Chains A and B, each alone.
Chain A
Amino acid sequence: MNLLEIENLHVSAQGKEILKGLSLVVREGEVHAIMGPNGSGKSTLSYTLAGREGYEITAGHIIYRGEDLTLLAPEERAAKGMFLALQYPVEIPGVTTMNFLKAALNAQRRARGEKELDAISVLRLVRETAASLNIPEDMLRRALNVGFSGGEKKRLEILQMALFKPVLAILDETDSGLDIDALKLVADGVNRLRAPQRAMLVITHYQRLLNYIVPDRVHVMAQGRIVAEGGRELAHELEAKGYAGFVKDAA
């Protein structure tokens, strides 16, 4: 079944058209990679999917689990199983990581009509999940992302993904700013979360990440559109040829 259908999507931000007729279909459980040079509209796509203010859809549609995604607030999308791991996770002083996780977990459960978890259950769940991702407990007590290294921030994003169990996870340049060891650690975390009922959209500039998170489909994005599609071998082709060839084709 199609989990996500994007058709002829046009999106403007600050009066400038950035997505210019993008179409994409993701089926349940599939891992798709979206590759593209800077400025191709990758982040605009992820923000539009997550429902960030300031991204205006001027044409086209997005259907997620059979309903019009654009009618939903960001928190409703999250409750319906969408998860966006950010390229730059936000630092929020004064909110401890543990309190944030508890608020988010329970808000999602509440929205889905599930029973909220008490403090002890949340604590246990978070601790267990964190341990499986090698996240020290001390990080959970600190303010959210404040003073975390790039790798720690990304690991915390993966921890959230593990806790929220999304149906569609969008990883926006999760590899940026990571050295090879941190990258492997993060990719390992992601791979463990691959499941038949979980689709992923892995957005990246470099092919490197795809050595570790092997996609089912690869899409090349340029100038606000998908300009090439293929299997995982397309990523290697890109690595060899560079984006230049694809971008020229699109123009």
Chain B
Amino acid sequence: MSVAAVKNALPESFVPEPADVLPAQGAWLEERRARAMQVFQAGGIPHRRVEEWKYSDLRNALEAERGGTNEVVVLPSRDPFATIAGPRLVLRDGSFDTPRVRVPDNVEVRDLATLGDDAPDWIGRSLGCVLSNGMGQASLAFMRGGAAVRIGRGTEVTIHLRFLQQIEISHARVLIVVEEGASLLLLESHARMRGVMNLGLEILLQPNARVTHVRLADAAPEAVLVEEIGVTAARDAHYRAHLPQAGARLSRLELRTKLEGAGAEAALDGAGVLCGRLHADVTTHVEHVAGKTASRQLFKYIAGGHSRAVYQGRISVHKGADGSDSRQTAKAILTGERAEADLKPELEILADDVKCAHGAAVGDLDRDSLFYLRARGIPEAEARELLLRAFLEEAVAEITNENIRSIVWNFVENYLPKALDEVT
């Protein structure tokens, strides 16, 4: 089914103009995109009556009047990772924009818009095969373009993935294959975007591969940003993701990680600061497919004003995945009287002899701590801020690279005064 044919049935703000959709490529890819379109159409655009989207009504956000905000000052979108070396892959309005990027030996970068029937095997085998949910399908079906990256065996590299968007709607795809024993520091950043973006990111870790993925997404208050990340980790592969949240009109980050081989590990964390009417939703699904796999998650939010902070974390331990260990914590502090946090951990355990620990709590600052600091002379506002910072810092403390940690902390801290101003 063509893009033109589905256009009438879907909100205008979701389906790009036909000219903004990648034209037919190789037959294999077209077939995959047609199938993706079918799957997406069967479910349609998710809304609040779809359980996994209960707290993030995408349909409503797309249909609502946008662009009417009177935000005049657009913050300069400096690349937060500007000081860090490494090839920069830029996706502008969903299209790969840096065809001449120089990459180290043993690293391969391809523009998804120029794949023919002779696409390399590593792309053909994987593109569209990790992400399976509706929005992930939509990003493939409607994609304007994207990139595929292969990190060859044993290679250690830092890659920047920079998203810029000026058009109203874009769908894009990125595929990253990290071969055996390779190690990737993936620095993903979004320049302050407006409009609607639906991004699908597939990351495959072969045995003993390492990926540290840091994502800083800056969006205008009226933007709608949906990002679906699918990760598969083979034997002894480790995937770490640091995912701070600053929100948008609707910001959804869905991360599905499959730990497929023994010794595979996933560590996900994020500190979120929301103000105004912003929304941020982190939805994770960690699947312990194989035994002796480990996962840990720590997400922390401060929600001011009328904002809404969402964390949904499902952990599935498959049958036979004995000896797996999963930990999950989500906490939110509401500093705005009208703010809301929805934290929903879910466990699905079909194996024996597993360790699972999970906890979620929404609350205010600890009164004993606040009194202690004040009794030692620290004024209330300063004491509150000190405690809120401490609360958030725990969710960036695991970033081992000191430079990256301070970049991430600056990103989070930048939003803090606004969220605190709204304390009433």
Do A and B originate from a single complex? yes
Closest 4 CB pairs of A and B: A94-B390, A78-B377, A108-B377, A74-B374
A104 to B376, Cβ gap below 8 A?
yes
Query: Is B361 in contact with chain A by the CB < 8 A criterion?
Result: no
Contacts of A195 in B (CB 8 A): none
A233 at the interface (CB under 8 A from B): no
- Neighbouring A residues of B383 by C-beta, 8 Å: 75
With A103-B382, A104-B378 in contact, do A94 and B389 touch (Cβ < 8 Å)?
yes
What's the least CB distance linking B398 to chain A, in Å?
13
Chain A residue contacts of B376, Cβ below 8 A: 78, 100, 104, 160, 164
User: Taking beta carbons and an 8 Å cutoff, which residues of A are in contact with B?
Assistant: 50-53, 73-75, 77-79, 84, 86, 89-90, 92-95, 100, 103-105, 107-108, 111, 160, 164
Q: Is the pair B387, A53 in contact by a Cβ cutoff of 8 Å?
A: no
A50 touches B375 (CB 8 A): yes
Q: Across the interface, do B372 and A75 meet the contact criterion of CB distance under 8 Å?
A: no
A51 with B375, Cβ < 8 A, contacts A75-B380, A107-B382 known: yes
A52→B393 CA distance, assembly (Å): 27
In the assembled complex, which residues on chain B have CB atoms less than 8 Å from the CB atom of A75?
Answer: 374-375, 377-380, 383
Complex contact A103–B386 (CB within 8 A): yes
Question: Within the complex, what minimum Cβ distance (angstroms) separates B390 from chain A?
Answer: 3
What's the nearest-Cβ distance from chain A to residue B323, in Å? 29
B391 contacts chain A at the CB level, 8 A cutoff: yes
B132 at the interface (CB under 8 A from A): no
Nearest A-chain residue to B372, judged by Cβ: A90
Given contacts A74-B375, A92-B372, 10 further A-B contacts (CB under 8 A): A50-B371, A74-B371, A75-B383, A78-B377, A86-B375, A92-B373, A92-B390, A93-B390, A93-B394, A100-B376
The interface residues of chain B, by DSSP majority, are classed as: helix
Q: Is the CB of B393 within 8 A of A94?
A: yes
Q: Is B369 an interface residue (CB 8 A)?
A: yes
A95 to B369, CA, bound (A): 11
Distance in angstroms between the alpha carbons of A92 and B367 in the assembled complex: 11
In Å, the complex CA distance between A53 and B379 comes to: 14
What class of interface size applies to chain B in its complex with A?
Answer: 20 to 34
8 sample A-B contacts, Cβ–Cβ < 8 Å, listed by A number? A73-B380, A74-B371, A75-B380, A75-B383, A90-B368, A92-B387, A94-B389, A105-B377
Q: Which chain A residues lie closer than 8 Å to B380 at the CB level?
A: 73, 75
Q: Which residues of B contact A93 (CB under 8 A)?
A: 390, 394
By a CB distance below 8 angstroms, the chain A residues around B368 are: 90
Residues on A with C-beta less than 8 A from B369 are 90, 92
Residues from 355 to 414 in B contacting A, C-beta threshold 8 Å:
366-369, 371-380, 382-383, 386-387, 389-391, 393-394, 397
Most buried by A among B375, B382, B389: B375
Whole-angstrom CA separation of A100 from B372 in the bound complex: 11
Residue among B371, B387, B391 with max Cβ neighbours from chain A (10 Å): B371
Q: Is the CB of B371 within 8 A of A53?
A: yes
Q: How far is the CA of A241 from the CA of B419 in the complex (A)?
A: 58
Could you count the A-B residue pairs with CB atoms below 8 Å apart for me: how many are there?
A: 74
User: How long is the Cα–Cα vector from A117 to B371 in the complex, in angstroms?
Assistant: 24
Taking the closest CB of chain A, its distance from the CB of B409, in whole angstroms, is 12
* CB atoms of B372 and A103 under 8 A apart: no
B374 lies within 8 A of A79 (CB): no
Instruction: Give B281 Cβ to nearest chain A Cβ, in Å.
Output: 25
Q: Are A89 and B372 in contact (CB under 8 A)?
A: yes
- Complex CA gap A79/B378 in Å reads 9
Contact of A111 among B366, B367, B375, B377 (CB under 8 A): B377
Asked if B377 contacts A107 (CB within 8 A), the reply is yes
* Cβ–Cβ < 8 Å partners of A105 in chain B: 377
Shortest distance in angstroms between B53's beta carbon and chain A's nearest beta carbon?
A: 33
Complex Cα spacing A90 to B391, Å:
15
The residue among B368, B369, B374, B390 with the most chain A CB atoms within 10 A of its own CB is B374
A107 contacts B372, C-beta separation under 8 Å: no
What chain A residues lie within 8 Å of B393 (beta carbons)?
Answer: 94
CA distance A86 to B371 in the complex (A): 11
List the B side residues contacting A160 at CB < 8 Å: 376
Interface residues of B in 271-300 (CB under 8 A from A): none
Nearest B-chain residue to A143, judged by Cβ: B390
CB distance from A163 to the nearest CB of B (A): 10
Q: Which of A50, A73, A94 has the most CB of B within 10 A?
A: A94
Is A79 touching B377 in the complex (CB atoms < 8 A)?
yes
- Whether A73 and B390, one on each chain, are in contact in the complex, defined by CB atoms closer than 8 angstroms, is no
Q: Mask for B334-350, Cβ within 8 A of A = 1, else 0?
A: 00000000000000000
- Report the minimum CB–CB distance from A147 to chain B (whole Å): 14
Query: How far is the CB of B387 from the nearest CB of chain A, in Å?
Result: 7
Within 8 Å CB of A84, what residues of B?
375
Taking CB atoms, residues of chain A closer than 8 Å to B371 are 50, 52-53, 74, 90
- Are A78 and B375 in touch, CB under 8 angstroms? yes
CB distance from A243 to the nearest CB of B (A): 28
Chain B residues closer than 8 Å to A92, beta-carbon distance: 369, 372-373, 387, 390
Query: Once the chains bind, are A73 and B374 in contact (CB under 8 Å)?
Result: yes
Q: Which residue of B lies closest to A112 (CB)?
A: B377
Give Cα A136–Cα B269 distance, bound, in whole angstroms: 33
Nearest residue, chain A, Cβ from B393: A94
Q: Please, how many angstroms separate the alpha-carbon atoms of A84 and B376 in the complex?
A: 8
Cross-chain contact B375 with A95 (CB below 8 angstroms)? no
Contact A100–B377 (Cβ < 8 Å): no
Chain A neighbourhood of B375, CB < 8 A: 50-52, 74-75, 77-78, 84, 86
A62: shortest Cβ distance to chain B, in Å?
Answer: 16
| Most interface-central of A52, A53, A73, A75 (chain B CB within 10 A) | A75
Q: Is A104 a contact partner of B389 (Cβ separation < 8 A)?
A: no
Whether the Cβ atoms of A107 and B389 lie closer than 8 Å is no
Report the minimum CB–CB distance from B392 to chain A (whole Å): 8
CA distance A246 to B371 in the complex (A): 33
CB neighbours (8 Å) of B394 from chain A are 93-94
| Chain B positions within 8 Å of A50 at CB level | 371, 375
Rounded to whole Å, the gap between the CB of B186 and the closest CB of chain A is 27
